[in-house]
Structure 1
C-alpha cells in the first residue's frame, strides 16, 4: 500500500474531494469519527501494520490477483482487454482487501466488536471472515430484499459466526442496511468499530477505504508492465455503486490524464424510468450517510429509492471521490441497464469460462461504448465472482 499524497483528485485536509465529502454526522458519533481521522494514516503506514496487512493479503486473501488477457473477448471487441481478477480473492470479491485493513486498524484502536452493512453480501462475508479470523464479535445489517436474493452469502455469514440483522424499513436494501448499521454504532460508540464497505460515509472512510483498495491499481501497473512493457493502460473500467472497487482500480492512475477512467453505473430499467440507480444521470448534490455527494432525491431532498438487478449497485448515491471525478470530467460515466449487464455477464461466461458477479457485468457492458482501438489496452475490474448471483442469472434466462 503506497502512500500517495497531494493528488489533484485526493482528499483535502477537510475531508473533501472538490465540492464533495466531509463528515456530516450526529454529535454522538463525533468522538469515533474524530478518533479515526486523527489516527488512521499514522497507524496504517507504520511498518508493523504494513507487514501484517501485506502478509495477510498474500497468504490469506491470495494476492496478487491475476491480470488476465481475455483473448476471445478482445477479438470480439477488436481491442486488448485485460481482466483484473478480484473475483479470485478469498471470499469472492475485492471487499476483503478493505476488511483486512479495517480489522487491523480496529484492533489497534482497542475495539472488540464490529458492525457492518452489506448489499450484495460480499462485504458482509468479508467482514464476517476477518472477524472469525481475529475472534471478534460481528453484526451485519442487510436489507430484507437483499437477504432473499443473496441467500448464499447470508448462509456464509452465519456459518462464519456473524449475526445477520434484517433491515425492514424503506426499500429494505443497501441504503436501509447502512442506516441501521449507523444507528447501531451511535448506540455503541466506545467498544464498536463500524467497517464501512465502500468509499462512502463520513471522512475519513472514503479515503481510508480507497487506500486499502489501492492495492488493485498498484498490482495492475506492475503486472501490465511485465506483460506489455508499459505500466499504464489506455482505459481502466469499473462498476460504481458506492464505488470501492472502482476507487482501488483508479487510485494510481488518477493524476495520469493519459489513462481514461470509465465508470459503469446501474441504470436498472433505464434512466428515463423510475427504476434506476444511475446517480450521475439522475442525482444532485446532497448529504447521505455522513458525507456530501451526488444522490438521487426529490425536489425537497427525500431519497429516491434506487433499483438495480445487482444488489451491490442498488444504492441512491456514489462516493464523494467519484462525484468529484464526474464533476471534474476526469471520468466518463455510462448508465448500464439490467438487460445490458446480464447479457455482458453471460457473454463472458461463454467466451472466457468466467461467470462474473452481476456488479462486474455492468463494467463489462460498458466496453461496447468505448470504441477502443486495436492497439489500445483496456483493464476491467472483475470485482466479484458470480456464484452468489446464479439464481438471478437462471431466473433471467
Structure 2
C-alpha cells in the first residue's frame, strides 16, 4: 500500500491513480476521496479491484455539492471552507433574486451588448461543400462581439456584482491570453472595485496589448514567472491572504466548488441564446455544437443548454500543440489522468510521479494543465466527444476565417474551426453546425505573423 497526505494548500497538486498498470496486470481502481480531511489524515490507496458504476447523465445537469460523478469537490484547507460556503450561499441567493437577475439582464444587454448574433458563415459553408454542392451549414456564435472582445465578460460582470453584494472591495483574478483580465478590469471599473490581475510573464509578452488595456481600465497587473497555471496559483494565494476583503473572480470552470458551477451558470447564456436563435433561423435545434477546450468556460457556455438533448452532438477540441507525441501540447482530456489540482478533482496533464506537465499551445488561453470537473464528467459519461487540433491547423483555420468571412477568430476558437476540416466531409447535407467564436483575434495577429516567420526560417 501507498499513502499520501492531502492536507496541503489547494493550489498544490496531487495525482489520483484511477488506473495503475503493473506489466500486463489488471488495473487498480481508486476509492472515492472525501472532499475535506482533518489535519492528521493520510489517504491510502488499496490495491484491490473494483467495478466502476455507470453514471446517470442527469447528474451532469443536477449536480450536488459541486460534484460531477467523482469530479469536482472542495479539496482545500479547512480555513477556506467557510469562505467557499459563504460564496456558495450568495450564489444560490442571486440565482433566485429577481432584483439581481434584472440588474444582470440589463448589464448583459446594455453594457456587454447581448444577445450576440448567430451568424451564417456562407463562404465557409461553401468551402466545405463537396463536388455535388452538398455539405453542412456552418453558423458562428459571435462571442467576439461582446464588450471587451470575448465571452469572458458574461461571467466577469456577474461575479463582480456578487462581490459587491458581499461587501468585497478588492478583486483578484488570473488570466492567460488576457481576455478574462480585460473583462474583469472592465467590470471592476464599472462597479468601482479595486482590481489586481495576475498574468504569466511569457503571456504578458505575447499579449502586450491586453496588458495595456487592463492598465487603462485601472487594474494593477502583476507579472508571475511562468504561464496561466502559475498566475492562477498566485491569484489564489493573494485571495487566501485576505479572505474578508478580497474576492477571487474565477474566469474559467476550474477550482473548488462553487467556482466551476458559477462560471458555467453565467456563461450558459451562450447556449440559451443559441437555442432561441436556431428556432428563429431554421425552426429547430443545432445538430452539432463545436467549441475549443482549454479549461471549459466557453465550451460549457455553449454545451450546457443542450446536454439533455441527446440528439445534439457536442464536440470539444483541445490544443495538440506541436503534436500529441511531442510532449508540447495541452490535450488534457486526450492524454491526461485524473488528479487533484487547484482545489478540485479533474483530468490533468501529469507524469508517472504525479508532477504537473507544462502545457503548450499557440492559443495562450489554452495553456492550462487541467480541465474543469464538469467537462471531465462529460468525457467520463461519453455525452461529449473530444478531439484535437495542432498549432499549425489552428493557424490555418484562423487565416481561413479571416480570408473567407472577414472575421478575426481568437486562436483558441481557431482550434474548434480547425476541426471542421475533418468533421465536415463526414456530415449529411444541411447539417446545422454551430461553432463558438469565443473571442476576437485581432490581438493574436502578431502571434500568427511570428509563427509564419518561424516556419519560414526552419
- Report the TM range for the smaller structure's normalisation: over 0.9
C-alpha contact (below 8 Å) 2:332/2:369 kept by paired residues: yes
C-alpha contact (below 8 Å) 2:94/2:101 kept by paired residues: no
**Matched residue count:** 388
- Pair 1:133 & 2:186 matched: no
- Pair 1:271 & 2:324 matched: yes
C-alpha contact (below 8 Å) 1:242/1:313 kept by paired residues: yes
C-alpha contact (below 8 Å) 1:241/1:312 kept by paired residues: yes
Question: Equivalences for 1:1-397 in 2 at 5 Å?
Answer: 7-10=58-61, 12-77=63-128, 78-168=135-225, 172-230=226-284, 232-370=285-423, 371-397=426-452
Displacement of 1:395 in angstroms is 1.3
Gaps of 5+ in 2: 1-56, 129-134, 453-458
C-alpha contact (below 8 Å) 2:59/2:69 kept by paired residues: no
In the other structure, the counterpart of 2:131 is: none
Structure 2 Cα separation of the partners of residues 153 and 45 of structure 1: 35
Structure 1 Cα separation of the partners of residues 68 and 368 of structure 2: 20
TM-score, normalising length from structure 1? 0.96
Displacement of 1:44 in angstroms is 3.0
TM-score, normalising length from structure 2? 0.83
Displacement of 1:7 in angstroms is 4.1
Structure 2 Cα separation of the partners of residues 389 and 27 of structure 1: 41
Q: What's the secondary structure of 1:294's corresponding residue?
A: strand
Structure 2 Cα separation of the partners of residues 14 and 228 of structure 1: 38
C-alpha contact (below 8 Å) 2:113/2:146 kept by paired residues: yes
Q: Deviations over 1:59-117 (max 9, x none)?
A: 00100000000011111122101000000000000000000110111111111110000
Structure 2 Cα separation of the partners of residues 385 and 303 of structure 1: 30
C-alpha contact (below 8 Å) 1:360/1:382 kept by paired residues: yes
Shifted more, 13-22 versus 144-153: the winner is 13-22
Displacement of 1:298 in angstroms is 1.2
Structure 2 Cα separation of the partners of residues 394 and 265 of structure 1: 22
C-alpha contact (below 8 Å) 1:125/1:156 kept by paired residues: yes
C-alpha contact (below 8 Å) 1:44/1:105 kept by paired residues: no
Structure 2 Cα separation of the partners of residues 276 and 229 of structure 1: 40
Gaps of 5+ in 1: 1-5
Displacement of 1:51 in angstroms is 0.4
Shift >6 Å, 4+ stretches? none
Structure 2 Cα separation of the partners of residues 122 and 335 of structure 1: 22
Displacement of 1:396 in angstroms is 2.2
